[in-house]
Amino acid sequence: MKPRVLLVSTVHPATDPRIFYKIASSISADYEVFCVLPRANETVNHPFRNISLPYFRRLVWRLFVSHPVMLWKCLRLKPDVVHIFVPELIPAALLFQFRGAKIVYEVQENLFKKFSIKRFNNAFFFQYFFKLFDSTARKRFNCIFTDEAYLTEYRILSKPYAIVRNFVSVPFIDAIPDQKGNPQARYEFFYAGVISLERCFDVLLEALYLLNQTYPEFHVHLFGPIRVDLNKWKENPHYLSVCERITLYGYRDQKFAFSHARRCIAGIALLKPVADYQESYTTKLFDYMSLNLPVITSDFPLYRQVVEHSHCGFCISPYNAQTLCEKFVWLIENPEDRKRMGRNGRKAIIDTYNWAREELTLFSFYKNLLKH
């Protein structure tokens, strides 16, 4: 009988790329996997089973509704391993541990630094209890980190841990069909991620305003949750001049989002140097490379190591709209060079930045976890 594993989050979307398309798919051959996520489709057949939770943006509602629903649905499954992806689940994980389960606590961001830019769920008592339970998790749980940078914060751990980076699943990317292009746009650009000022929404609009003066036949696809108040931008001349050339899709499944990407001429991955952005990779960087897109990203040393070594794009100041516009123009005017950049990025994914390598680390971690 296969060991039973619960992959649990009360925050991530139902088709979260890492949980749903990578981890659950990878381990389902050797384990009986239950993917427990908000608004999951329980009727779709996968190598694993979906369990749906209610979704709330506010933490207090998740604590009083989502968590009890999760416990009611999952405690009776008597899992061997419970893999949690958000720190708010640490108290629930302690209950599973008391009932005999092994607990994996996955750290996907440095919340000690992220609280400064969070607009929700960042009250003092939330921060206090996060630090309290996070300290407990370091002592009692096995940890997985998505980036080496988090080890500067998590220096003292009582149990074995692993670093499983959020690199690209090449077979998943290659199975995504292309969507038809926009007939009114000769030049299309792509972005997938949170849409916020910390991720340069304001700089992008100014750059597009400048681009519109010389190459107005463009369109920009923006996929991801919107964390800016668009009503406040309606009188902004940059936004008004280009809003018809932008499509804001909100969060969509990667299968849909990436189907728009291959016909684009660049992927945008600009972040400002706030919170922990300079210290850890942005996943979209590797996604774009796998899609044969030249990348335009921030000039952080960590990002330079990837982009400049692979010759797959540009690292620029995340505050300089003029430079961003100049890179757009260069990519428009140099089609052969941009195709070469795209091929270089794809090669780097195949050779180095791919999920197949990380998957082996994950398999080894789970195997050792269940030995003890």
pLDDT digits (tens, 9 = 90+) for 142-191: 999 999 999 999 989 999 999 999 999 999 999 998 876 665 668 999 99
3-state secondary structure of 149: helix
Q: Hunting for tokens 């849909």 — which residue is that?
A: 256
Q: Which two tokens stand for residue 325?
A: 């516009």
CATH classification of 172-351, choosing from 3.40.50.300, 3.30.70.1140, 3.40.50.2000, 3.20.20.20? 3.40.50.2000
Q: Which CATH architecture has domain 4-167+354-369?
A: 3-Layer(aba) Sandwich (3.40)
Summarize pLDDT for 189-232 with one digit per residue, the tens: 999 999 999 999 999 999 999 999 999 999 999 999 999 988 88
Q: What local confidence, expressed as pLDDT, does residue 113 receive?
A: 74
Q: What local confidence, expressed as pLDDT, does residue 285 receive?
A: 97
Cα–Cα nearest to 145, from 280, 21, 271, 31: 280
Q: What local confidence, expressed as pLDDT, does residue 177 receive?
A: 87
Given a contact cutoff of 8 angstroms between Cβ atoms, the answer to whether 32 and 3 are in contact is yes
Tell me the pTM.
Answer: 0.93
C-alpha 347: how far from its chain's center? 22
DSSP state of 63: I
Given a contact cutoff of 8 angstroms between Cβ atoms, the answer to whether 39 and 13 are in contact is yes
* CA–CA separation, 237 and 364 (whole Å): 54
Q: What local confidence, expressed as pLDDT, does residue 130 receive?
A: 81
The per-residue b/e assignment along 230-243, b for 16 or more CB within 10 angstroms, e otherwise, is eeeeeeeebbebbb
Q: Hunting for tokens 């309606």 — which residue is that?
A: 234
Q: What local confidence, expressed as pLDDT, does residue 231 receive?
A: 86
* CA–CA separation, 113 and 209 (whole Å): 33
* CA–CA separation, 151 and 157 (whole Å): 10
Q: Which two tokens stand for residue 214?
A: 């010389």
Q: What local confidence, expressed as pLDDT, does residue 31 receive?
A: 97
Q: What local confidence, expressed as pLDDT, does residue 128 receive?
A: 75
Task: Please state, as a whole number, how many other Cβ atoms lie within 10 Å of the Cβ of residue 114.
Answer: 14
- Ranges under pLDDT 70 in the chain: 114-125, 180-185
What are the structural domain ranges in the chain? 4-167+354-369, 172-351
* CA–CA separation, 92 and 352 (whole Å): 37
Q: Which two tokens stand for residue 151?
A: 């080890």
Q: Alpha-carbon torsion 12, 140, 103, 152, what sign?
A: positive
Task: Please state, as a whole number, how many other Cβ atoms lie within 10 Å of the Cβ of residue 202.
Answer: 18
Q: Hunting for tokens 């996955």 — which residue is that?
A: 106
Q: What local confidence, expressed as pLDDT, does residue 12 receive?
A: 96
Domains 4-167+354-369 and 172-351 share a fold: yes
